[in-house]
Amino acid sequence: MIDQIISLTARISLIRVTNVLILFIVLAGCGKNLTPEQKEYIFRIEELRKEKNEWMKNNPNSPFNFKGKVIFHNLNYFDVDPDFVFKSKLYEYELKDTITIFGTKGEERKTVKYGYVQFNYPGKNHKINVYKSASKNGMFYYSIWFTDSTTNKDTYGVGRYIDFEKVEDPNHVYEIDFNLAYNPYCAYNPDYSCAIPTKEDNIPIAIKAGEKKFHD
């Protein structure tokens, strides 16, 4: 009798597990049909996120360790979405104005509004500025800073950044990947100051890609 009860219990457990697996497969089937290239891309971005977590947690130069210890937990992200990867040339402004922006501690910063990239989503054209700035050691670098409809809701209230590596070829086509959008250091540690995107840098849609808020 005990053997029969155990056998019945095992069969019920097996049926439950099978049903869960079937439900999972059905739900997965309702999602996007991904190509092998898209699956490989998602895996690559997820691996980059794991590496960044390890660096943020353990590296002495990370914002969690360099200016006073800040409690670390894994960074928060939207699911990787290949639909938020776009291609664009860099359209340089004829007049590259030097403008004043502000840091989160209220300090003024000078930067050059160098040009812009553009993308289409969802069915509408958007453009976003590319800025040229100088680091403390005199080296120049290029940046994209933006806000969108998720800002101060799902994502950091100041805005998010995307690194931009300029290529000298004027016909070069850049990849603008919002899955790589990240929070500046001040999102984790108030001892840092970071550039605040201007009103012109707002994208009037929800960019549900890249990094989310770190603090609730």
Residues 134, 170, 130, 125, Cα dihedral to 10°:
180
The C-alpha atoms of residue 72 and residue 187 are separated, in whole angstroms, by 12
More confident residue, 54 or 135: 54
Say what the pTM is: 0.83
Q: What is the pLDDT of residues 166-188, one digit of tens each?
A: 999 999 999 999 999 999 999 99
DSSP string of 177-210, one letter each residue: EGGG-B--GGGT-TT---BPPPGGGB-SS----S
pLDDT at 216: 74
First to last CA, the chain: 54
pLDDT at 138: 85
Q: What is the pLDDT of residues 194-203, one digit of tens each?
A: 999 999 999 9
Q: What is the pLDDT of residues 91-141, one digit of tens each?
A: 999 999 999 999 999 999 999 999 999 999 999 999 999 999 998 888 999
The C-alpha atoms of residue 67 and residue 59 are separated, in whole angstroms, by 12
Indicate the pLDDT class of residue 10, thresholds 50, 70 and 90.
Answer: very low
Average pLDDT, the chain: 88
Helix then strand count (H, E) for the chain reads 2, 8
Indicate the pLDDT class of residue 68, thresholds 50, 70 and 90.
Answer: confident
Place of tokens 């680091």: 135
pLDDT at 1: 40
Tokens matching residue 64:
């969690």
Domain boundaries, the chain: 1-31, 74-201
* Residue whose C-alpha is closest to residue 51's, from 192, 180, 160: 180
- Answer yes or no: is pLDDT of 29 > 70: no
Residues β-bridged to residue 195:
103
Q: What is the pLDDT of residues 143-160, one digit of tens each?
A: 999 999 999 999 999 999
DSSP one-letter code for 172? P
Q: What are phi and psi of 68, to 5 degrees?
A: 85, 140
Strand 91-92, strand 98-102: pairing: unpaired
What burial letters (b/e) apply to 89-118, b meaning 16+ CB within 10 Å?
ebeeeeeeeeeebebbeeeebebbbbbbbe
Place of tokens 């890249």: 210
pLDDT at 31: 52
pLDDT at 21: 37
Q: Are 127 and 117 in contact (CB under 8 A)?
A: yes
* DSSP-derived 3-state class of residue 46: helix
* Residue whose C-alpha is closest to residue 116's, from 138, 86, 139: 86
Indicate the pLDDT class of residue 16, thresholds 50, 70 and 90.
Answer: very low
